Structure 1
Amino acid sequence: MSNSSFDVGSEFCLRGKNYRVTSATKQRLVLEDIKAEEVEVKKRSELVAAYKEGHLVFSDLLATASSNLEEFQHEKSLSDFPARLKNEAAGKLHYLRSICPRGHVLFSRRELRQKLQECHAQLPKELLTPRAPSIATFYEWRSRWMRSGYQTRSLVNRYDLRGRKCDETNPRVLPFLEQAIEETFLKPNHPTVAETLDHANGLIAKCNLNVPPIDAIPRATRNQIVRELRKLDRKRVLEKRYGKAHAEAATSLRGRKEEPERVLERVEVDHTPLDVIALTSKGGIAARPYLTVLIDVRTRMILGIWISFQPPNSGSVLRALRVAILPKDDLMRKLKIKSEYDAHGVPLELVLDNGLEFHGNDLEGAALDLQIKVVYCPRRQPRFKGVVENWLKQINYRFMHLQPGTTLDRYFKRNDLDPYRDAVIPLEDLKRFIWKWIAEVYSRRFHRGLQTSPREKWRDLVKLGPPVLPKRMDVVTFYTSPIHQRMLSSKGIEINCQFYRCDELTDVLEIHGKLELQVRPDLDDMGKINVLHPDTQSYFLAYSTNPSYANGLSVEEDKWIRKLAREKYSALDDETAMLLAKQEIREEIAAMQKEKIEEADKPKAKASRKAKKTTGKRTSKAAHAAASASKAIESAAVDAEPHTPSVAPKRMPNFEKLKAFPSGEPTLF
């Protein structure tokens, strides 16, 4: 870019008007409006102030700044080029400024050649070239320099313009290339360029079968098809080959969005399987636990987590939300963590994905009761809650991969590592270690995006507005409990293999009889449940009939105890003995049934044999002859009549056998 000054003859644009300096003094300038042909007098200091504010632009920028100064875009400067090109341009400028600083050459060709040799000897070491330029080369530099208004950037060598331009594709081949690209390359199974080229040449070969050799279409080349592929819209190619979601992600900017201004204004929730194998108890079965986490976007503080062997469900989300809302003093004391952890409060907005556990009535109802806005991200778009996604990766990479029993993030990275063999951490201890890492490591580490630690950021923003809490602490436990429908009977209400009773349930049973009631069990304390009264529409407490077992017991612990009991019973001989005893009882009853039937059939068989003996003695020879003659006559008559298929008589049940068991089949175990 060339430089300018307020000399006579210079032109500039001032607030949309073009002026020319006609005369100048030390303090004032006489300006001529180029379009209106009017003369104005302005102070030199006034023009300098307008230049500082950006309202005045000299003539080399009139084309871009006369209409709207704010739309001016800076051109590429000399420092943007590589060092080699920059040094070459600086060397050319050294020759031009030494020989013709104003662009006029006042020497003969012999003197000019001598000047070029002198300038070559005076070049700095970093700009030194093997030899001095020729006179023709010098004049070429000079003409480019003067045409550009003495801009140094015009002296940069344009190596990118070297070489022959790409030839246009043969118009006879172009339709086949376009057809091959549409039918082969733009398919979701990701065909290669070679396959697309073969398809195009196949189409050309098929077309040449009916064409004389002199008019045959030439075969397509790889350069031609690559050139046509580069002309395609990149987003369309990605959408055809990889899907719309991938195309949107690859062609759109995904930078940081506007950050919330307060704490708890935006809270993101997600799950992940932890990359470590934990033990269910000391020496118990090893499995991979799941982690549910709530993180405050503004401060990056972890509000609440829940760890369990159960896959992600609405119960894990509600428990993590309960931990997030309540203060953490009791939790830190229970886990024997000395550090204070201040992050708590009711979120204003929960950002969730489209998992089934987030679309249940339990979570949506709890959010409405606690006045929390629920926002669902678009399907398969994890970038809309990138803060929690990044943190889940961080806890696995920075903490879980360093523990014994880690599974790492990929199976092929394990090599000789056996996570089930190395697992030594029980689940309860793993929860304590994770909370300790969050409270004493993560929250105190410097965060590059916050330019401070999450803990300090939370404390600074809490001074502007403290976190919001419900009026009563027990309300949080109540609202974050799942809702179930259970039948009321004379035994009470059964849920999670426990029976619950109270005086209010007795009154409801007396008035309404058996009916289905709405209950809210506490997932962390099976000793009591909340039951909705059908008349008053208010909740009351019902207590377990086995308080010594149920009080303070969580649902997961109850399931685990029952599972252990079944496994322990299966390992004993009692189950096998029980099954064998039941089988022996079945076999004895079947033998008794068979013996009873045989005894009932004995008198009938004896009578039939006696009847056959008496009838055989009384039968004479004449009777036998008459019977045989009658049979012959009947057979002849049957042969004379048209043939009809014979139907077997329907077998009747043996009522004699059924008398022994009036109710039908005998009762078996």
Structure 2
Amino acid sequence: MAGFALHKNRVFDWNGTEYRIDRIQPNGDVLLERMSDGHFSVISREQLLSEYAEGKISAKTVDAVSSTISSVPSFSRPLDELSEGVRNAMKRRKHYLERILDHGDRIFTPEYLKPLIEQAAAEIGDLTPPAVITVYRWYRRFKSFNDPRAIIPRTDLRGPKALRQNDRILQLLAEALEEAFKISPQATCRSVYTLLLGKIDIENQRSIGGELTKPPSLRTLYRLVERAEAYELVVLKEGKAAADRRFRIGKAGVKTSRILERVEIDHTPLDLFLIDERTWLPLGRPTLTVIIDHYSRMLLGYYLSFDSPSTAAVMGALRHAILPKKLATAVIANLKTVYTWTCYGLLELMVVDNGLEFHSNDLESVAYDLGIRIQYCPKHAPRFKGVVERYLKTINYFFAHQLPGTSFAKFYLRGDYDPQKAALLTFAEFKQIFEKWVVDVYAQDEHRGLGKTTPWARWQESIAHYELILPDDLRTLQRRIGLVEERSLRRDGIFLHGIRYSGDELGPILRGFGEGVKVRLVYDPEDLGEIQVWGPNDAEPVTVKALDYEFAHGLTVKQNEFIRQYLREQGAEVIDKAALERARYELAQAVEALMTNRKHRARRRSAALRGISSSKPNGSELNTDTKPDVIAVPKPQKNKASKVFEQGQEQTAMEIITSFQMKR
């Protein structure tokens, strides 16, 4: 290679600017000329070498002769990639040039070179020595490029490289490829060739008096497909999103400097069947929502329930993440957690995907109240929150798959194994085991993403320099986290999900703004006993209880929806207290029927109706001990809802419950 040397007229690039060495002084100073404007400057030799060592100087070849010698570039890849024949040809050329260069003064005349060529040919036994002009060309190319690689034969560049097919053939081929892979991602070249021949035939039929298009051979089609980029083929077979994922360049991820600076949240169906502690029948696979700290990889909070991913699940996980942790109640003897779960505090940035529950006004309002920023990932790009994605996979593969009742990640992996028959863990038992695995196993194991340290050690190291922040008090947090609604305030109070809320606390708002004013409500979907009400100018909310607090306390939104629907179809007044109690009793009976139903979906819905979650492992209490007095309600005919509570109609009850799913 030409290289870089400090000699007269050498041109080089220095931080994007071209300089030329005009002269070198005896003391080592170098006079440089800036090529752009002719400005001269004096730089020491040591400074130039130092700049070169830091990568700020690169040599530039300005020999104009090299551009006229040959347009063939020198071979720049490793020499071991050359074939044996090319290597032998390179050694042969090198031998002839060495003999000429070693002879002293070089006079490029036939009389001078021919004896040297014959002598070199005799040394290697070459029966067909090169001509004088051939050796001269080798020498000229070597001196012009000042690189020994210039004499390597470029046999890889021989032959025509341009396509011989006309543009119309290539256009028809592109259409055939697109149509074939639309029909089937496993399309073959033969199926593509069939479509191409059909298109060419139609093209020729439309041609009147013109030259017919000659179809290429099948082998030509194979060669054309081989020339296509791998990315374009994957786009045709699997789509652009899949191609972008497969061919993306992996780069360094997001960097954080402390805990709670960035958290990631997501849901997953747990690969594990849990059983009902009352009936000992499998309830199904719960849905797990987790919030993980990006810096330490510690689990901040989670929410587990048998309901679908929802805003309520996000709120539950967020509440659990912010508050100091209290480990699950011990229901398994001799299973104690060694370490404490010290993760808590307000978050700074929450990274989520584009699920409907994350785009709700409820979450945006709560995040604004708590000072949390929400960052949405691009669509179909889970890599932007890869920490939580990998954590959920770890939970399923290295924890849930090791427990009895696991369903595995793929159905075909089960074989003869029946996860519902093997299920042994109740909800409360699983919660205790899961929290022990989080604190005593995962947090204490060396994490590859953190280097040679553990999530626990990383968290403890960070809290030594960062003080965790909590809300002013627990009541403040409860007022901020929940589902958000807007209602009109009237003299009889506020109606939410058919429940009336009223009290003296609403008096100042009613007197200040009048009847019909819009107020902001925040409520807990797992307990409708009370709500938080903001007036138009209030800095803090007031707590308002339901008028029928005994009925609403501990009642979930899903249970309330079921009760109200039943009363409407029975023709009873929703404000009739006796009717409400009877409906609540009937709900308990329906849930009991669903709990013992042979259908797995029915048992899962019974768990959702009972409100079983990580915050309420036993669910909301549904009193079934005593039946309230039967009330007289008009029953014009037996409709769909009245059949729910007749014996032997558990399947109908399951259908009705489906229609009562709370809108998340």
Q: Same fold (TM over 0.5)?
A: yes
Select 2:270's aligned residue among 268, 274, 287: 274
Query: Structure 2 stretches of 5 or more lacking a match?
Result: 65-73, 107-112, 563-583, 598-628, 638-664
Partners of 1:286 and 1:423 within 8 A in 2: no
Q: Which residue of 1 aligns with 2:156?
A: 160
Matches within 5 A, 1:627-666: none
Equivalent position amino acid for 1:454 in 2: P
Aligned positions, number: 543
Q: Which residue of 2 aligns with 1:179?
A: 172
Q: Structure 1 pair 562/442, CA: closer, same or farther in 2 (3 Å)?
A: farther
Displacement, 1:337? Answer: 2.2
Q: Which residue of 2 aligns with 1:444?
A: 444
Partners of 2:327 and 2:435 within 8 A in 1: no
Query: Please, which moves more after superposition, 447-456 or 217-226?
Result: 217-226
Partners of 1:20 and 1:34 within 8 A in 2: no
Displacement, 1:303? Answer: 1.1
The yes-or-no answer on 1:202 pairing with 2:198 is yes
Q: Aligned partners of 1:78, 1:247: CA distance in 2, in Å? A: 29
Displacement, 1:304? Answer: 0.8
Q: Aligned partners of 2:357, 2:102: CA distance in 1, in Å? A: 78
Select 1:284's aligned residue among 278, 281, 288: 281
Q: Which residue of 2 aligns with 1:418?
A: 418
Q: Which residue of 2 aligns with 1:306?
A: 303
Displacement, 1:232? Answer: 7.5
Partner SS for 1:292: strand
Select 2:19's aligned residue among 11, 17, 20: 17
Partners of 2:522 and 2:532 within 8 A in 1: yes
Partners of 1:523 and 1:555 within 8 A in 2: yes
Q: Which residue of 1 aligns with 2:324?
A: 327
Q: Structure 1 pair 219/500, CA: closer, same or farther in 2 (3 Å)?
A: closer
Q: Aligned partners of 1:18, 1:533: CA distance in 2, in Å? A: 75
Displacement, 1:325? Answer: 0.5
Q: Structure 1 pair 91/167, CA: closer, same or farther in 2 (3 Å)?
A: closer
Q: Aligned partners of 1:133, 1:302: CA distance in 2, in Å? A: 78
Matches within 5 A, 1:114-133: 115-116=123-124
Residues 536-558 of structure 1, C-alpha deviations (whole Å, 9 max, x = no match): 964235389787x9988988999
Displacement, 1:318? Answer: 0.4
Equivalent position amino acid for 1:406 in 2: T
Partners of 2:172 and 2:200 within 8 A in 1: no
Select 1:566's aligned residue among 587, 590, 594: 590
Partners of 2:264 and 2:387 within 8 A in 1: yes
Q: Which residue of 2 aligns with 1:530?
A: 531
Residues 434-471 of structure 1, C-alpha deviations (whole Å, 9 max, x = no match): 22222122223323332232222233333333233211
Displacement, 1:496? Answer: 9.1
Residues 123-159 of structure 1, C-alpha deviations (whole Å, 9 max, x = no match): xxxxxxxxx8974499599638724645243355645
Q: Aligned partners of 1:561, 1:338: CA distance in 2, in Å? A: 43
Q: Which residue of 2 aligns with 1:297?
A: 294
Select 2:164's aligned residue among 169, 174, 178: 169
Displacement, 1:287? Answer: 0.4
Structure number with higher relative contact order (C-alpha < 8 Å, ≥ 6 residues apart):
2
Equivalent position amino acid for 1:179 in 2: L
Q: Structure 1 pair 52/376, CA: closer, same or farther in 2 (3 Å)?
A: closer
Q: Aligned partners of 1:159, 1:553: CA distance in 2, in Å? A: 82
Q: Aligned partners of 1:464, 1:170: CA distance in 2, in Å? A: 68
Q: Structure 1 pair 432/562, CA: closer, same or farther in 2 (3 Å)?
A: farther
Q: Aligned partners of 2:40, 2:549: CA distance in 1, in Å? A: 104
The yes-or-no answer on 1:459 pairing with 2:460 is yes
Residues 309-356 of structure 1, C-alpha deviations (whole Å, 9 max, x = no match): 11111111101000111122x236878523122322111222222222
Q: Aligned partners of 1:489, 1:28: CA distance in 2, in Å? A: 93
The yes-or-no answer on 1:540 pairing with 2:543 is yes
Q: Aligned partners of 2:206, 2:414: CA distance in 1, in Å? A: 61
Partners of 1:177 and 1:200 within 8 A in 2: no
Q: Aligned partners of 1:491, 1:301: CA distance in 2, in Å? A: 48
Q: Structure 1 pair 135/292, CA: closer, same or farther in 2 (3 Å)?
A: same
Partner SS for 2:483: coil
The yes-or-no answer on 1:151 pairing with 2:147 is yes
Q: Which residue of 2 aligns with 1:260?
A: 256
Equivalent position amino acid for 1:414 in 2: R
Residues 344-370 of structure 1, C-alpha deviations (whole Å, 9 max, x = no match): 211122222222222333322221221
Equivalent position amino acid for 1:305 in 2: Y
Q: Structure 1 pair 20/77, CA: closer, same or farther in 2 (3 Å)?
A: farther
Partner SS for 1:293: strand
Equivalent position amino acid for 1:112 in 2: A
Displacement, 1:93? Answer: 9.5
Point out the structure with max Rg over C-alpha: 1
Q: Aligned partners of 1:289, 1:229: CA distance in 2, in Å? A: 48
Matches within 5 A, 1:42-53: 45=46, 48-49=49-50, 51-52=52-53
Q: Aligned partners of 2:40, 2:360: CA distance in 1, in Å? A: 78
Q: Between the two proteins, what is the percent identity of the paired residues?
A: 26
Q: Which residue of 1 aligns with 2:429?
A: 429
Matches within 5 A, 1:25-424: 27-28=27-28, 45=46, 48-49=49-50, 51-52=52-53, 60=61, 79=78, 82=81, 95=95, 99=99, 108-109=116-117, 111-113=119-121, 115-116=123-124, 135-136=129-130, 139=135, 143=139, 146-147=142-143, 149-154=145-150, 158=154, 160-161=156-157, 164-165=159-160, 168-171=163-166, 174-179=167-172, 181-182=174-175, 185=178, 188-190=182-184, 192-206=188-202, 208=204, 216-225=212-221, 245-246=241-242, 249=245, 253=249, 255-281=251-277, 283-328=280-325, 330-331=326-327, 336-424=336-424
Q: Aligned partners of 2:547, 2:62: CA distance in 1, in Å? A: 86
Q: Aligned partners of 1:536, 1:34: CA distance in 2, in Å? A: 69
Q: Aligned partners of 2:191, 2:521: CA distance in 1, in Å? A: 64
Q: Aligned partners of 2:437, 2:508: CA distance in 1, in Å? A: 51
Q: Structure 1 pair 98/366, CA: closer, same or farther in 2 (3 Å)?
A: same
Q: Structure 1 pair 14/226, CA: closer, same or farther in 2 (3 Å)?
A: closer
Displacement, 1:197? Answer: 2.6
Query: Please, which moves more after superposition, 330-339 or 195-204?
Result: 330-339
Displacement, 1:386? Answer: 2.3
Q: Aligned partners of 2:28, 2:385: CA distance in 1, in Å? A: 62
Partners of 1:145 and 1:152 within 8 A in 2: no
Q: Aligned partners of 2:41, 2:365: CA distance in 1, in Å? A: 74
Partners of 1:519 and 1:529 within 8 A in 2: no
Displacement, 1:284? Answer: 3.3
Q: Which residue of 2 aligns with 1:661?
A: none
Equivalent position amino acid for 2:470 in 1: L
Query: Please, which moves more after superposition, 272-281 or 386-395?
Result: 386-395
Equivalent position amino acid for 1:374 in 2: I
Partner SS for 2:449: coil
> What's the Cα RMSD here?
5.5
Equivalent position amino acid for 2:287 in 1: Y
Partners of 2:501 and 2:544 within 8 A in 1: no
Matches within 5 A, 1:450-599: 450-451=450-451, 452-483=453-484, 520-522=522-524, 528-530=529-531, 532=533, 538-540=541-543, 542=545, 565-566=589-590, 568=592
TM-score scaled by length of structure 1? 0.64
Q: Aligned partners of 1:219, 1:445: CA distance in 2, in Å? A: 64
Q: Aligned partners of 2:516, 2:56: CA distance in 1, in Å? A: 86
Residues 564-608 of structure 1, C-alpha deviations (whole Å, 9 max, x = no match): 643547999xxxxx99xx9xxx9xxxxxxxxxxxxxxxxxxxxxx
Q: Aligned partners of 2:446, 2:62: CA distance in 1, in Å? A: 47
Residues 502-531 of structure 1, C-alpha deviations (whole Å, 9 max, x = no match): 78699999xx999999765545667x5235
Residues 102-138 of structure 1, C-alpha deviations (whole Å, 9 max, x = no match): 6968874554245447xxxxxxxxxxxxxx8974499
Q: Structure 1 pair 213/332, CA: closer, same or farther in 2 (3 Å)?
A: same
